């Protein structure tokens, strides 16, 4: 059996299209996930019982069930309730964003709770209300602490986005599978797919540690 470099290289332009789709999925999902995570993370530290219970249920559900099941639930399950089918892309985004939102919520909660009690008291003692305290004092400090875990979450999401191949959304993995059905060269193609993921995750983790070092200076 010969390793066919030429097939691997010829697959790159099409895999590149998949790569772009993967990046789109990841960036949009993480972006929405950060917003969801901030909202639900704030609810998790709220003294309001209702907000706390809602956010805990959300976090527990999406962290306690497989992402693959969540993708099926959104893409196949929701249309039954809604009465109309969902497009693949928005369905994939919804599932990924809801999932990453749950993980971000825990990261945000941890960040908020790691801020020294003295900061809360100092903010309170000058007469700030809860939202002023959060906005000006607690969240700016919490977000700085959140950057390293946020980078990890971004990498995890990049890899997990390959799961939406099961609903035939043509991201990196799915593109690879499609090429294999034509070429019957699974080793070369899956290896190429894996290497492309590796390049992306390496670049991101370099970028994150660079950002961390920059933030440490001031």
Burial 185-201 (b: 16+ CB within 10 A, else e): beebbeebbeebbeebe
Q: What is the rounded distance in angstroms from the CA atom of residue 212 to the CA atom of residue 190? A: 33
Q: Which of 80, 125 has the CB closer to other proteins? A: 125
Q: Which of 91, 138 has the CB closer to other proteins? A: 138
Instruction: Give me 164's structure tokens.
Output: 């939406």
Q: Which of 6, 116 has the CB closer to other proteins? A: 116
Instruction: Report CA dihedral (114, 106, 96, 204) to the nearest 10 degrees.
Output: 30
Q: What is the rounded distance in angstroms from the CA atom of residue 68 to the CA atom of residue 31? A: 20
Q: What is the rounded distance in angstroms from the CA atom of residue 13 to the CA atom of residue 158? A: 20
Could you give the count of Cα atoms lying within 13 Å of 80 in the half-sphere of its Cβ? 6
Q: Which of 9, 136 has the CB closer to other proteins? A: 136
Q: Provide the minimum distance between the beta carbon of 123 and other proteins in the complex, in angstroms, as a whole number.
A: 8
Q: Which of 13, 127 has the CB closer to other proteins? A: 127
Which residues bind to other proteins, rule: CB under 8 A? Answer: 116, 118-119, 121-129, 132, 136-137, 140-141, 144, 218
- Reported residue count of the chain is 218
Q: Provide the minimum distance between the beta carbon of 100 and other proteins in the complex, in angstroms, as a whole number.
A: 26
Q: Provide the minimum distance between the beta carbon of 128 and other proteins in the complex, in angstroms, as a whole number.
A: 6
Q: Provide the minimum distance between the beta carbon of 214 and other proteins in the complex, in angstroms, as a whole number.
A: 15
Q: Provide the minimum distance between the beta carbon of 37 and other proteins in the complex, in angstroms, as a whole number.
A: 21
Instruction: Report CA dihedral (64, 67, 72, 74) to the nearest 10 degrees.
Output: 80
């Amino acid at each position: 059996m010969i390793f066919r470099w030429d097939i691997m290289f010829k697959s790159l332009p099409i895999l590149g299209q998949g790569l772009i789709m993967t990046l789109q999925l990841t960036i949009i999902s993480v972006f929405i996930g950060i917003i969801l995570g901030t909202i639900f993370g704030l609810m998790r530290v709220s003294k309001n019982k209702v907000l706390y219970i809602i956010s805990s249920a959300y976090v527990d559900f999406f962290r306690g069930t497989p992402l693959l099941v969540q993708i099926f639930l959104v893409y196949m399950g929701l249309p039954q309730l809604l009465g109309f089918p969902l497009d693949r892309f928005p369905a994939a985004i919804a599932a990924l964003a809801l999932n990453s939102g749950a993980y971000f919520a825990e990261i945000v909660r941890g960040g908020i709770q790691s801020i020294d009690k003295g900061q809360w008291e100092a903010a309170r003692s000058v007469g700030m209300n809860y939202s002023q305290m959060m906005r000006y004092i607690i969240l700016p400090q919490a977000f700085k602490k959140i950057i390293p875990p946020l980078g990890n979450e971004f990498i995890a999401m990049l890899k997990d986005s390959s799961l939406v191949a099961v609903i035939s959304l043509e991201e990196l993995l799915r593109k690879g599978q499609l090429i294999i059905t034509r070429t019957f060269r699974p080793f070369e193609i899956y290896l190429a797919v894996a290497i492309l993921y590796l390049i992306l995750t390496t670049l991101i983790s370099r970028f994150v540690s660079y950002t961390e070092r920059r933030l440490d200076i001031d």
